[in-house]
Every structure is written in structure tokens, then in C-alpha cells.
Amino acid sequence: MTPPSPGQNATILAVELTDFSAIELRDAIRSGETSAADAARACLARIEEVDSGENGVNAFIQTFPERALEQAMKIDERVAKEGAETVGPLAGVPVAIKDNMCLAHGRTTCGSRMLENYESPFTATAVQRLIDAGAIVLGKTNLDEFAMGSSTEHSYFGPTRNPWDRSRVPGGSSGGSAAAVAARMAPLALGSDTGGSIRQPAGLTGVVGCKPTYGRVSRWGLVAFASSLDQIGPFGRTVSDVALALDVICGFDELDSTSVNTSAPACAQAVDAPINKLRVGVPKQARNEKNHPAVAEALERAIGVYQSLGAQIVDIDLPTIEYGIAAYYIIAPAEASSNLARFDGVRYGRRAEIGAHEDLISLYSRSRAEGFGEEVQRRIMLGTFALSSGYYDAYYTTALRARRLVKEDFDRVFATEGGGPGVDVVLSPSTPTPAFRIGEKADDPLAMYLEDYYTVTANLAGIAGVSVPAGLASMDDGVRAPVGVQLFSPPFSEERLMRAANMLESGLDWNDRRPPL
């Protein structure tokens, strides 16, 4: 393939480029087969095509077309002048960033009216690492306000639609990033995962999404929802792309006290090597009768793949999965009530107009009532209540105890000593059901919270998790909707996690399926 001249067969070329994986695109840019500028143009054109309008996906809150092209051309210039080896591992790869990560360009809204016009003076460490690796930031993606939700319906900027069926949700809260990758608007995206906010939308949109170990990726510049649970992670259409992105964003950062100073993973290099005699634990709780039939089927299909690859399937018991949601919905709102207290209308963000004779309390309460949506307000109230004197022990302390039990449960199944089953990874569905309809659960917070049933435990335990596409469900209305399965691995074993996920992907090949868009 020779480098195309501008304008020539642009449409056909664009379709091809948007189908490239991040690694393919990077290699093509390095080799001169294509250019970073064309890759950026192709993605921007795709965004133009499918994201806006009444029935658009609405994955992006804002895009930076000029800046993206400018940055891309700089990459091309470097490839031409200094050589392909001088550009980073993501040279020219367009990426989408969830809009709760700070970027010193454009706005950082968190999907909230509170920060509708907020511009951050600094860039999040994880985002900066992508940029330093040569990635081109296309724009900021939609999310449930302040990452609180499982459907990306709770955004001040309107819901994001599932590229597989635009009447359905893409999951959330990183629904914009998931949809952007699924709909070929970007080969890579960053999301954040506090209770499943990467893995659940990855499952519902048919892409790969990973939540690294707590402490792996710096949280500097990630607008905090629940500090002890939040973790940034990548979306991609292949496990290899996600592995590469992990290598780029992981690593110690002295600006985040909870960042762990350990050697960065080398997932990209390891991902293709299958693990010999892999021990895959399947909790009996994963075979829940409430699972959608397609979800149950996908799980068995994944088990089959592992068996065919010589892995050993181990039946395990993780009884504390049952405590997960309850503990999570105390701890996360408690931290959120405190983290979001800074949005008071005093220094930045939305400030309500108050009369000359109204007091400070009016300024606070009106600004917050105007700035925050219903779900955010609900969680602030839940968390404030849980931390109140007289209730603290009954709720917060108890939830911390449950969290410790969840952690110990995982420690036990990963351990070999003490008669532990010593599994390498744990396999479960990503979500109990495929994507639901927009509005279906909007008025039923409890049903919405159960979306995180399979994912929250990884956040509570601080372990790594990844969702891999594992099938398409035929829904009542004839729509075909993706389902994903999820793997967990012990803290700081991302290489193992990516290798196990790659084995599954190679045996399933669902990531080749494209949404009808």
C-alpha cells in the first residue's frame, strides 16, 4: 500500500482506517503506509457521520478536530524527519478520553451542569502518558454525571446510545468511551471504573475493557468519585490493543499517594503467549439463575474455549459476591459525598444567582441543586447519611468490614497455601443481562445498581479485571446485543490477565463483529 494523496478515495480509505486496531494503525503510520493525519481525519469523519444528530450515538461531549489534526501532523513530521523509531508506541493513534479526566484543553465537564464550562489548567497523568506515547486526543466522551451510573443516561449532555441498537444504553458510566470504540470512532479510549464503569459498558457494547489493579494507574487528574475504588483503564477492540494501552498508562506517579511504586507491566510483549495449564476459577455465584440466557450461554462458551486450550476449570465459591453491591453503595456514596463537597459555587463551576439578602447556605444549596443531577444528589445524600454520627458504625464501618471479607475471599481463591484452590484467574459474566432500553431502568435506581453485581467486587478487593466480548444475544425485539465475560486476576498481575484474556479472544473471535451502524 502506498501513502494516499489527500482527497483520493478518501471515503473508502476512511472506512478502512477506522477499522484498524490501534496497533495496526500505529504500525501503518510508522511504516508510512498511512499517516497520523489521515487516521485522525478518518476518525473525525466517522464521528461526524455517526455521533451527532437526533439518533446519533452521542459518545462525545466535545471533539478537538483542529488540535487533533495539528498533533497528528506533528507525528507525521517526526516520522518523516527523525524516523519511525523516534515516535512512541501509540504514534498517531486517535484516542477518546472520558470527560472526567482533566485535559488542559477544552472543557472538563464530568457530564455535569456543575462543570458545564469548566476548563482544567492541567492534564491527568494517564492522559499525558497517552499523549507522550504519541496518541492523538480526538475529544472527551460522555458519561453518567461524575461517573455515577450504569447507563450513561445520567448526563447533562443527554444519553449516549448503544451502537448495536440506538434505542438501548451502552452501559456506564464510561458509556461514551465504550460506544466510541465499538462504533469505530476511535480504536482506543480511556474510561474510569469505580464499580464496573469500564467493564460493564465494554460488555454491553462488545469491546474489551480493563480495570487495572488499584494503584496501577495514577488518579491525578481523574475527577474523584470514590477515591478508594476509582481506577482509570483502557477500552479497545482487541485484547492486544488494551494490553498496549495498559503498558502506556500504568506506572508510579508521585502526584498520587495511592499510586503504587512497582515495576510497570509489559503486557503487550506477553499477551500473545498462552498460559500453560491455566487454572480458571468459575464461582458458583456466576451461574446465577437471574442471568439472561445469552449471558449464561456466553459463560459456558468461554469455559469451553478454555477447556479446548488445555486450561483447567475449577469450581470455586465466592460467597461474598452477595455483599458487594450493599457494601459498594455505602462506601462509594460516602466518599462521593465528601469528594463532591468542593463543588460549592465559590471558586469555579456553577454558581446560583442569589439575592442580596440571602445567606451563604442559600448560595451553597442553590448552586448544588442547580448544578447536580438527581442521581448525583441521591448519592450525596446517601453518603452524607452513612457518615453521620450515630449511623457511621452501622453503615460505613460495617461496609468496610464487608469489603475486607470480599478481599479475603479473593485472596483465598487465588492462594495455593492453606488448601486454597489456587486459581490463576476467575471467570464470570460481565453483566447479568445484555443492554437494556434507554429509560427502562432510569426510574428504578435499585435495578440499575444491580447492573454492577458482577463487577463491583473487583473494585472492593482492588484487583484487576477485564471484560471480553463473548457473544451476541438475540433480544425480544429482534435486536442483537453483545454480551461479555469477565476475568479477574490478583493485584499487579495484569500481564497474566491480558494473556488469559487473549486466549479467550482467540478462541471466540467475537471482537470481529461490527455493530450495524
Q: Which residues bind another protein (CB under 8 A)?
A: 101-102, 108, 110, 115, 118, 120-122, 124, 219-224, 226-228, 254-258, 334-335, 338, 341-342, 344, 346-348, 360, 364, 384, 387-389, 392, 396
Least separation in angstroms between residue 213's CB and another protein is 15
Q: Of the residues 35, 197, 428, 493, which is catalytic?
A: 197
Q: Report the alpha-carbon distance of residue 267 to residue 378 in Å, rounded.
A: 39
Q: Report the alpha-carbon distance of residue 213 to residue 244 in Å, rounded.
A: 16
Residue 98 a catalytic site member: yes
If the CB atoms of residues 187 and 333 are measured against another protein, the closer one turns out to be 333
* 3-class state of residue 503 by DSSP: helix
If the CB atoms of residues 20 and 364 are measured against another protein, the closer one turns out to be 364
Residue 441 a catalytic site member: no
If the CB atoms of residues 183 and 380 are measured against another protein, the closer one turns out to be 380
Strands, E assignment, 310-457? 312-316, 425-429
Least separation in angstroms between residue 107's CB and another protein is 11
Question: Whose CA is closest to 101, among 76, 118, 84, 81?
Answer: 118
Question: Whose CA is closest to 376, among 173, 166, 82, 72?
Answer: 173
Residue 228 a catalytic site member: no
C-alpha cell read off for 192: 474510569
Q: Of the residues 21, 35, 98, 192, which is catalytic?
A: 98
If the CB atoms of residues 38 and 344 are measured against another protein, the closer one turns out to be 344
Asked if 59 and 111 touch (Cβ cutoff 8 Å), the reply is no
Least separation in angstroms between residue 384's CB and another protein is 7
If the CB atoms of residues 182 and 334 are measured against another protein, the closer one turns out to be 334
Q: Of the residues 112, 150, 155, 173, which is catalytic?
A: 173
Q: What is the CA radius of gyration of the chain?
A: 22
C-alpha cell read off for 404: 475486607
Question: Whose CA is closest to 106, among 148, 72, 143, 60?
Answer: 60
Handedness of CA 45, 240, 294, 321 (dihedral sign): negative
If the CB atoms of residues 20 and 343 are measured against another protein, the closer one turns out to be 343
Asked if 178 and 199 touch (Cβ cutoff 8 Å), the reply is no
Least separation in angstroms between residue 111's CB and another protein is 12
Burial class (CB in 10 A: 0-12, 13-18, 19+), 187: buried
Which alpha helices (H) appear in 184-249, and where do they start and end? 199-205, 239-249
Least separation in angstroms between residue 229's CB and another protein is 8
Least separation in angstroms between residue 417's CB and another protein is 26
Residue 173: cis peptide before it, omega within 30 degrees of 0:
yes
Question: Catalytic residues, which ones?
Answer: 98, 173, 197
